[in-house]
Chains A and B, each alone.
Chain A
């Protein structure tokens, strides 16, 4: 993976080299050209176009490209790259020129039907070296039960907060953005309800196309307690999420300081061994999961003045304990 450190080293090298000097010694290396915001956005767009055309040859690929779909390593051209039939309407980009990476949440058409995709590309020396995708084809899509793809396609455009430009003076440091995003997972796993990530009061979350915060209607069978009728902070302070027994292999590869966005990847483990959830309000309700279950998740956080505002996730049920073939190995 392209790390911030690698990129920083490259930038330092660039700063140290005289502007017009040609290195006499090949060992001093070639300074990689920086792929800026526009360049990354363009490569992202070209990647999605190439995917829709089932034609990987259109892309400037590094000699060794690493690619996964839903955590499984496979050739770039395989998987959704063979079955995509077009691009969908829903498109949300996250650009991180410091790490040379770009992310995207949106819809693609597969066999003519919308599927929800989270995509990450890493660019090295102007070439795409990594392509990671999480493709949600099924799943409950929150409360409504329609598939993730059709729901996001119907939504059409992302919430405006995701494309809001933060004034340069108000931009949060990369490390702080990552820390805030991580606090979402840290407070959710094994939740006791005694603490919470910092949330804006306007926070809303959409998971696989379905709204999972502030639902106006209690879902059938959850009359005693329905966590999804609560807001972001109230959910984390409810004590309900104790059944999420671990959130592991958390990565924050794409941080868009200009927009206050962090695109993360993680796995939610549920051992299935937690039977009762003791809520802060005194109620005890049964855990929704009584068998081992893991969600693979790509989750996007929009952070406003130090607080998580909008959250959007693409997730899949995967075998319990699944790790990515490439990105989480030590």
Chain B
């Protein structure tokens, strides 16, 4: 594959057409071109007619490439996390971007055919503070980019199933359905560490907080009973790095008035209104266990769908 790379890059530089077998570097170049074109507000850089032909969504809404964030993105950020999946001609990106000077977080999936973008799916988290936190971090946790030796890799189907079990295990809050987590698992949500974070837990004004706990312990509390249903799609798998990127919606019907958590307390739920989280989320999996989680999320109308055929749970 390495020998193909210079040709691939050259083709992308001149015209957005690449030979079959676009590898990691080729995919990253493709996404780079995509993001540069976006910041330049110039979908034509993707090739003639590509922007109009591709199926594209932003925050679950269908719109041509060139609309939405394509009209407001003003600068690429420093925080960039890539998930390359040559087997399915896809690349995903989680990182920062400025929108008319205001930082935002972007979760992006791009699929190409022969180097032409045919699908673009974005979740734009317009959380200025969250984006600033990521920029302050400067770069993603290096664990996400560390290759896993071939002998230790799990097949893509198994990886996707583990990632999907994060969402299905969350809905309903059944502690026995917690997904497999590594002991040192941590999670970033919109730039905030929402695991093993006692400082954040102390700031919480709610009667109960799980933020001081680790990934598995959070699921074992049973508190996620407040998540009543959802939909997900685990679509991009970086087999070399054992990272899965997907999209999900977590519905909160607002009808769970209290939860009996694992320490025996009965905790009143403070927000009894229907709402849904829309997420772009990635998972680093080692030895069949989730070790790192990172998400871009938005509050959206209750029970919203993405239009990409999510699986309901």
Contacts and interface: CB of A to CB of B under 8 A. Distances in A.
Contacts of A74: 302-303
B68 A321 contact: yes
B61 A321 contact: yes
Given A74-B302, A83-B272, A83-B273, A292 B71 contact: yes
A134 B67 CA distance: 26
Interface residues of A, number: 29
A290 B102 contact: yes
Main SS class of interface, A? loop
B47 interface: no
Contacts of A319: 58-61, 278, 298, 300-301, 304
Contacts of A110: 254, 272-273
Interface in A12-44: none
B302 A291 contact: no
Nearest to B275: A137
Given A110-B273, A291-B99, A321 B302 contact: no
Interface in A280-330: 290-292, 316, 318-323, 325
Interface stretch (A65-73, A163-171, A174-182, A209-217): A65-73
Contacts, number: 97
Contacts of B274: 69, 78-80, 82-83
Contacts of B145: none
A316 B301 contact: yes
A292 B68 contact: yes
Main SS class of interface, B? loop
B69 interface: yes
B272 A111 contact: yes
A240 B59 CA distance: 28
Of the listed residues A79, A80, A111, A319, the one surrounded by the most CB atoms of chain B closer than 10 A to its CB is A319
Given A271-B72, A291-B104, A321 B300 contact: no
A69 B304 CA distance: 10
A62 interface: no
Contacts of A318: 300-301
Given A83-B274, A111-B272, A291-B100, A72 B303 contact: yes
B220 interface: no
A206 to B, nearest CB: 22
B169 to A, nearest CB: 23
A273 interface: yes
A139 interface: no
Interface string B174-208: 00000000000000000000000000000000000
B62 interface: yes
Interface string B141-154: 00000000000000
A272 interface: yes
B32 interface: no
Contact of B302 (A69, A271, A272, A322): A69
B221 to A, nearest CB: 22
Given A72-B302, A83-B272, A115-B273, A320 B255 contact: no
Nearest to B254: A83
A70 B302 contact: yes
Given A290-B100, A318-B300, A82 B254 contact: yes
Contacts of A72: 301-305
Interface in B50-104: 58-63, 67-69, 71-72, 99-102, 104
9 contacts: A71-B301, A83-B255, A271-B72, A290-B102, A292-B72, A318-B301, A321-B58, A321-B63, A321-B68
Given A272-B71, A290-B100, 18 more contacts: A69-B302, A71-B301, A78-B253, A83-B253, A83-B254, A110-B254, A272-B99, A272-B100, A275-B100, A290-B99, A291-B99, A291-B126, A292-B58, A319-B278, A319-B300, A321-B63, A322-B60, A323-B61
Interface of A: 69-72, 74, 78-80, 82-83, 110-111, 115, 137, 271-273, 275, 290-292, 316, 318-323, 325
Closest 3 CB pairs of A and B: A111-B272, A321-B61, A319-B59
Interface of B: 58-63, 67-69, 71-72, 99-102, 104, 126, 253-255, 271-274, 278, 298, 300-305
